[in-house]
Structure 1
Amino acid sequence: MNLQNNISNHDKNSIKVLVKRGSSVESIHRAHASICDTKGRTLMKAGFPEYETFIRSALKPFQALPFLTSGTLEKYNLDNKTLALACGSHCGSSVHARTAFKLLWNSDIDIKELKCPIPQNRESRLQHNCSGKHSAFLATCKKMNWDLDSYLMGHHPLQIEIFRRVSELLKIPAEELIAERDDCGAPTLLLRLSQMAILYAHLSRSDQPEFEKITRAMINHPDLLAGEGYFDSELIKRSHKQIISKGGSEGIQCIGLMGEGIGLSIKVEDGSKRAKHAVAIHLLRQLEWITPSAIEELDEIILQKNPGIYIEVEGKLQVP
């Protein structure tokens, strides 16, 4: 699907984020959103819910499925903290690095096997925000006797299993999935916003044991997903265990309403991180998925960082 076809004729219904310096508009971001249930029905939308883009790191809870279902955690005596880290895009703190190291140590895997890059101005691959995912990939391969060196290749059994599970949830043939290399080297998928929302609807419904375990790990260890002061962690902490949240680069944000089987996906066209957070807070306020006081706290922590800079969001979700 051509990007231009994605956005044409849907501009008037999209969400706009206005960044103001004083009373003057300095920047404008445009976003699209989709809310779906596990049956694939679009419940609400803003802009173009079939917008096609890469899910990026919002795929991580689903990339962690083989780590869980293969029995790797039990085999190597790993806990839910390592599972949460596998689902996260952490800030590279000492706690995050130690948890990734524990995952590798228990699995008897050398750090040199990690293929995520060493972040700029850092000393170790363990500090990369995807080190949890990569460590879980390696541990799963060790448990399953799969090749460790090629674990990021699309034809590797690990990646094939991830694609299979995603295609099963979306009810499409696995061969229809389009995968490309993410910045960390792992495959990510080209999906429609509605498909991302469907994935998070399944994840939040928790009627399958593996999803229940993944969401419990995310909810009970939110700081391992990102870190203190970061959107996903702060939203989950304020949601009273009602929300799961996972963002991705280039303006991707996915959220699930626990126990309801409802997923929300957001894409900011220009990839702005501040805009996706502003849109998420704006829509959560409209949906009333968390309390007004939690919304205000989240707004203050995430958006109100620079004096004299104000962010306003225009647009609402609509029923199709």
Structure 2
Amino acid sequence: MTRGLRNPAPELEVQLLREGILESTHRVTAVIADHRGRLLTQAGNAAMSTFIRSALKPFQALAVTSTGTIERYGLTDRDLAVICSSHHGSVEHARQVFNILWRCDIDPTALQCPTPPDKDSPLQHCCSGKHAGMLAVAQQRYYPLETYLHRSHPVQKLIITKISELLGMPADEFIRARDDCGAPIYSMPLIQMASLYAQLASGEHLDLERIVRAMTYYPHLVAGEGAFDTELMRMTEGELVSKAGAEGIQCISRAGEGLGLAIKVHDGAKRAKSAIAIHILRQLGWITPPVAETLSEQFMKLSPYKRLEVVGDLTML
């Protein structure tokens, strides 16, 4: 699924300026691909491989939307949104995750994500929704709950099978590791991440379309107030679906266009990926000037003395 790769184009840079004087620089690779895996635009090397981290969550949620789990337990789009989330651990988020487990008759002690240091329960972990979704599928299929995070567990096999089908490659070719929450995570080229997101919002897959609807209807459940994903989806009113991942990963797609954007900040800086995303979305015309200005005020002007600035543009192929 890497058709159309070209020689690497110049990378982008995010510069931290203190009263206009350069203090730090972050290097960034960014890729746009279509739903067929064709490279359309790049900055840096589109074949660069890295872990997709939490940007994979909408595709891990396919195990929920494609198995009848939603229908059996009467789960809602609010539940599906939090299954796709990297949430802030608020009371609302924790209650929504609890609602999934309660409807599926699963005790919250079955969650194997850790309790965050400043919290009281695994329900408040940023990945608890994803874990609740995996447990729900295991319960619906009568799979063991105790081992739902094992790579050989049927739920994990189902997830990677769905992803491999979307990318048109064998499941056993993925490089696997453990995410911080304990669930399996996969490394892949940025062009594959972009292609996954192109398919997410293409409108050609009913199960993915439901995931997009849930995320864009309830963006505050996908992250939380003040988070980039939440603010971008809220301001674009369903046109864009956005999901961040740790270590500088950001993926975005535009509903109905079959195009996906994948970003990797090489040093993993969280602040840089938001700045790059705003810069690229403005260049593509995916956000209006007022939305771009509002997002820039929130995510690029860090203090009265510090701001972020992006150097470079995507190379159009």
Regarding TM over 0.5, the answer is yes
User: Which of 11, 15, 27 matches 1:14?
Assistant: 11
8 Å contact from structure 2 (residues 225, 231) kept in 1? yes
User: Which of 242, 258, 262 matches 1:261?
Assistant: 258
Following superposition, the deviation at residue 155 of structure 1 comes to 0.6
Following superposition, the deviation at residue 152 of structure 1 comes to 0.6
Following superposition, the deviation at residue 39 of structure 1 comes to 1.2
- The question of 1:229 aligning with 2:222 is answered no
Question: Within 1, Cα distance between the matches of 2:75 and 2:164?
Answer: 28
User: Which of 235, 239, 244 matches 2:241?
Assistant: 244
8 Å contact from structure 1 (residues 49, 193) kept in 2? yes
- The question of 1:273 aligning with 2:270 is answered yes
Q: Secondary structure of 1:59's match?
A: helix
Provide, for residues 126-150 of structure 1, a one-character-per-residue CA deviation record: whole Å limited to 9, x for no partner: 1100010001110110000011011
User: Which of 306, 313, 316 matches 1:316?
Assistant: 313
Structure 2 counterpart of 1:255, one-letter code:
I
8 Å contact from structure 2 (residues 13, 26) kept in 1? yes
8 Å contact from structure 1 (residues 103, 136) kept in 2? yes
Question: Within 1, Cα distance between the matches of 2:56 and 2:30?
Answer: 17
Question: Within 1, Cα distance between the matches of 2:98 and 2:58?
Answer: 20
8 Å contact from structure 2 (residues 29, 263) kept in 1? yes
Hey, what does 1:75 align to over in structure 2?
72
Hey, what does 2:49 align to over in structure 1?
52
Structure 2 counterpart of 1:317, one-letter code:
L
RMSD: 1.1
Provide, for residues 20-57 of structure 1, a one-character-per-residue CA deviation record: whole Å limited to 9, x for no partner: 11122111000001100011110111111111100000
Following superposition, the deviation at residue 84 of structure 1 comes to 0.4
**1:190-201 map, 5 Å:** 190-201=187-198
Question: Within 1, Cα distance between the matches of 2:227 and 2:167?
Answer: 29
Following superposition, the deviation at residue 80 of structure 1 comes to 0.6
Hey, what does 2:134 align to over in structure 1?
137
Q: Secondary structure of 2:308's match?
A: strand
Q: Structure 2: which 5+ residue stretches go unaligned?
A: 1-6
Q: Secondary structure of 2:112's match?
A: coil
User: Which of 91, 94, 102 matches 1:105?
Assistant: 102
Tell me the TM-score normalized by structure 2: 0.96
Provide, for residues 62-82 of structure 1, a one-character-per-residue CA deviation record: whole Å limited to 9, x for no partner: 000011111111111111101
Q: After TM superposition, what 4+ stretches of structure 1 lie above 6 angstroms from structure 2?
A: none
Q: Structure 1: which 5+ residue stretches go unaligned?
A: 1-8
Hey, what does 1:5 align to over in structure 2?
none
- The question of 1:126 aligning with 2:126 is answered no
8 Å contact from structure 2 (residues 216, 237) kept in 1? no
Hey, what does 1:4 align to over in structure 2?
none
Q: Secondary structure of 1:205's match?
A: coil
Tell me the TM-score normalized by structure 1: 0.95
Hey, what does 1:6 align to over in structure 2?
none
Report the identity percentage.
Answer: 49
